[in-house]
Structure formats: C-alpha cells, structure tokens
Structure 1
Amino acid sequence: MNGSTIIPIAVLLIIGGCITTIVASYFRLQRHRADAAALAEYRKFAEQVTTNQQAINDRLAELGDRVKAVEKLLASVG
C-alpha cells in the first residue's frame, strides 16, 4: 500500500464512523422519546388512581357514618 491509497481508505473509515455514530444517536433519541411518552402515561394513570382512591375513601367514610346511625337507631329501638 502506498500513500495514495491510505488517504481515501482513512477518509472512508472516518465517514463510516460518523454515519454509524449519527444512526446510533438517532435510535437512542427515539428510544428516549418513547420512554418519556410512557412515563407521561404512567404519571397520568397515577394521578387518576389517586383521585379515584380519594373518592373511594370519602364514600367509605360516608358509609361508615350511615352504619353508625343505623346501629344507634337499632340500639334505641332494642
């Protein structure tokens, strides 16, 4: 190999390395975007679960008060 063939080979290797790096970075960015979208969905789901849980707790407290009222009524009748 003389000097005239080494330079084009080196240039092609550098260009190939750059293209490989760009493609790998692109797919890493796409994976990151997908992860961010999934995380946003999980966050939305967690907020919805928290809201539903609070509504259930309120309903249970209301039912507990009603049971106490029924027990008091039964105790006064019996």
Structure 2
Amino acid sequence: MNGSTIIPIAVLVIIFASVTTIVVSYFRLQRHRADAEALAEYRRLAERITVQQETVSAQLAELGDRVKAVEKLLHSVG
C-alpha cells in the first residue's frame, strides 16, 4: 500500500465511525424518550393514587365519627 490508498481508506473509516455513532446515539435517544414517557405516566399514576388515598382517608374518618355517634347513642339508650 502506498500513501495514496491509505488516505481514502482512512476517510471511509472516519465516515463509517461517524455514521455508526450517529445511529447509536439516535437509538439511545429514542430509548431515553420512551423511559421518560413511562416515568411521567408513573408520576401521574402516583399523584392520582395519592388523591384517591386522601379521599378514602377522609371518608373513613367521617365513617369513624358516625360510628362513634351511633355507639354513643346506643350507650345512652341502653
């Protein structure tokens, strides 16, 4: 091999490495976007569950108060 064939081969290797790097980076970006979307969905789900838990806790507290009132009424009657 002489100097005139090494330069085109080196250029082709550099181009191939660049294209490979770009393709790999693109697919990593797509995977990262999918992960970010899944994480956002989990956050929305967690927020919704938190609100529902607070609602259920409030309902249970109200029910507990009603049961105490009924118990008090029963004790006063009996």
Structure 2 length as normaliser, TM-score? 0.97
Query: Where does 1:1-78 land on structure 2 (aligned, <5 Å)?
Result: 1-78=1-78
State the alpha-carbon separation in 1 of the partners of residues 6 and 72 from structure 2.
98
State the alpha-carbon separation in 2 of the partners of residues 22 and 57 from structure 1.
52
Q: How many residues matched?
A: 78
State the alpha-carbon separation in 2 of the partners of residues 75 and 4 from structure 1.
106
SS of the equivalent of 1:57 reads: helix
Deviations 1:40-66 (A, max 9, x none): 101100110000000000000010001
- Note the residue ranges of structure 1 that are not aligned, 5 or more in a row: none
**What is the aligned-residue RMSD (CA, Å)?**
0.6
Offset, 1:4:
1.2
